[in-house]
Amino acid sequence: MKSTGTIAKLLVSGCLGLGLGAVATGCNSSSDGQGKVLATGTGAITSDLSAVPPGMLPPGFVGDPSMLEGPRVEIVSPARAGHTTARRVAVEGVVTDLGGGVSDVRVQGRSVTPAADGSFREEVELAVGMNTIVVEAWDRAGHRRERFVNLIAGDLAPEGEPLADAATVRVTNGALDLIEPQIVAGIEAQRAQIRQQVLATRVGNDTTIKDFRFGRVTAGLDTIQGGVRFTATIADLAMDIEHKARVLLVFSSTQRGTVRAQRLEIEGLAQVNVVNGRATTNVVQVTARSVGFSVPDWARSEEATIRRSFENGFAAAAAQGLGQGLGDAFKSTSGTIAQAAGQGVPTELDWTLTTLTCDPAGATALFAANVRPPAAVAGTEGRSVVVRGGLANLTGGGGNGPNVAMAVHQDIVNRALHAAWRGGAMNLVIDQAAFDAMNPGSPMRLDTSALFALAPELAAVVAPGLPIEMRVEGLLPAVMTLRAGPLPHRLDLGGLKVTTFVLDPVNGRTPMGEACYAIGAEVAIVERQGQLALQPAGQVQVHVDALGPAQPGAELVLEKMAAALGPQLLQMALASQQGLVLPAVQGFTLGGLRLQALDGNLVVLGTAQASAP
């Protein structure tokens, strides 16, 4: 049942890895897209962007570069990087006419009419999860400018509280066959105890058991409604007995011999319950039947009595061994895993078994779970967004197909992303060394010359060869939305505040400016050579706002660089992420993985196999 822990590792390592990869992408596109303060051709830093790179100006353009960006837009409410439990929000702001005249204002694509002073107000429907609210304005010449805010909407659950219905595991009888060796081991481990219990069994008034031995043990296990039915076969049993008889009340004789059986077949039923988050088994019925049973010649008259004592005594003793084996098979259903999320930020995964039900085709376990940071970054929100709702209904499992199914609810995915954010995984310093570590083998350089390959016109205002450093602050956690069917999943990163610096040998570490990014990426979870990995699966949307007093042309530079770099660097970042190998769990490995989403759940189908010793 530790398979749930495996999936949780997937959630933290896989989904969070994607999140951090996208953060790195945001950082790099933001660093390359910073246009607020740029370097001149002499290497000095200037705040004068009155000369916008020629490639960004229309032919023959003369005048204020800010005219190319359309009317100025400010969003007054809601605040950037906020949370709300409401399903609607009023978007309020101001549009300032910079001389080109306002031709259109849109909030989330819907036209609104500003008041005479440029103010506007429009209500917007919110989806549960990350919402990127975009306000756009055009002047009469068709020049456009936009601003955005990110808002997480929906119920927020305290991070110290486990999420009920976080994951479920369905194990078919075919997979349960793999734990039969553990039942055998349970009996084998109790050979001495079983021997002593059989030796203490009464055969008759004048007959005692002197020794007991048995050979190879095999076992079988099948689920039934409400519990499990088990069988065990023990070969080559031998019981040494001694019989004392009195003759004429004076003389006595002692006869010794060995009772044998080719095999003993034991069947039993066990109830499976959950007590304090752990699976327990209670053996309620055990019967035994001997095959190839024989007694010494002198004991033939007592054969029925000896056989009954033999079978009943061993059945009672073996029941304890079977119970031990079943207990071992169903243990490890609760626990804690300490692990490193992205960027080495530690998180702790707790999972607790809440229910375990059996039916003729298999067993289904339901888990509550939590992911939390041992230490949280001050000022971050201690609650994660939840959509709630049940887990996928995992049933059946006959035939030769997958024998293990695991469903993980979207809420625990987002709790994992939230925990990593709370632990500081999205607060990064990206320099050349850090970039190389995240993207091994990449030839890309984090310097001003790298900008020229994407936008050669920037060479007019940026000195070549100056190293770039970016400081990233995650104002909000990443949010994953699982989509059913053939649609790709969506990962949203909002409120990525990026401060970019040029490491100038003359002027020192000089800020180029600040911007806030929102990245929405369509991604797929795939199996790649036995590993779970994430890859781009559609569009990558990047929104960027310059923060502080924007210089003329800054928004134009930012948008162009974000559009050019965002998708490219996201793909490179995802490709560099190491896939998650599903580890051996209680002697199992899980292969042949098939992945799908259903009702807000990530469902993993696989075939459990015995792992190599």
- Co-location of 495 and 355 in the same domain: yes
Q: Sign of torsion, CA 389 395 401 404?
A: positive
| CB distance 609 to 54 below 8 Å | no
Same domain assignment for residues 38 and 58: no
What percentage of the chain has pLDDT greater than the value 90?
A: 18
Both 274 and 407 in a single domain? no
- Total domain count for the chain? 3
Predicted structure pTM score: 0.78
Choosing from 153, 188, 208, the residue where a domain stops is 153
- Lowest-pLDDT choice from 220-234, 497-511, 541-555: 541-555
Domain-embedded: residue 165:
no
Measured distance CA(211)–CA(348) in Å, rounded: 52
The pLDDT value given to residue 182: 72
Does an H or E element contain 326, and which? helix 303-330
Domain boundary among 153, 180, 195: 153
- 98 is a domain residue: yes
Q: Are residues 478 and 575 in the same domain?
A: yes
Q: What CA–CA distance (Å, rounded) separates 299 from 293?
A: 13
Residue with tokens 């800010």: 66
Classify residue 613: in a domain, yes or no: no
Residue indicated by tokens 């005479």 = 116
> In this model, does residue 149 exceed pLDDT 80?
yes
Same-domain check for residues 342 and 303: no
pLDDT confidence of residue 126: 96
Write the DSSP assignment of 158-204 as a string of letters.
ETTSPEEEEEEEEEEHHHHGGGHHHHHHHHHTTHHHHHHHHHT----
Q: CB of 533 within 8 A of CB of 526?
A: yes
CB 149 within 8 A of CB 79: yes
Average pLDDT over residues 210-239: 88
CA–CA separation, 474 vs 103, rounded Å? 35
pLDDT, mean over the chain: 76
Q: Tell me, what's the pLDDT at 291?
A: 94
462 pLDDT tier (thresholds 50, 70, 90): low
User: Which structural domain range is residue 579 located in?
Assistant: 3-48+332-607
On whether residue 271 sits in a domain, the answer given is yes
Domain co-membership, 372 together with 501: yes
**More confident position, 428 or 422:** 422
Q: How does pLDDT run across 393-413, given as a tens digit for each residue?
A: 887 776 677 888 888 899 998
In sequence order, what are the residues at sequence separation of 6 or more whose Cβ sits closer than 8 angstroms to the Cβ of residue 146? 73, 134, 135, 136, 137, 543
What pLDDT is stored for residue 454 in this prediction?
Answer: 57
Give the mean pLDDT of 360-370: 89
- Decide which of 271, 301, 330 is a domain's last residue: 330
- Same domain, yes or no, for 366 and 325? no
Whether 233 maps to a domain, the answer reads: yes
Q: Is the pLDDT of residue 422 over 70?
A: yes
Q: How far apart are the C-alpha atoms of 364 and 581, rounded to whole Å?
A: 24
More confident residue, 206 or 31: 206
User: What would the mean pLDDT of 236-260 be, rounded to a whole number?
Assistant: 80
Helix/strand/coil percent split, the chain, to 5? 25, 45, 30
466 with 509, same domain: the answer is: yes
Please report the pLDDT score of residue 563 as a whole number: 61
Q: In this structure, are 43 and 64 located in the same domain? A: no
User: Is there a single domain that holds both residue 193 and residue 240?
Assistant: yes
Q: What residue ranges in 381-458 does DSSP mark as E strands?
A: 383-386, 404-409, 428-430
CATH of residue 126's domain is 2.60.40.10
In a domain, 158, yes or no: no
SS3 481: strand
Nearest to 458 by CA among 558, 547, 550: 558
**b/e code 138-159 from CB counts within 10 Å (16+ = b):** bbeeebbbbbbbbbbbbebbeb
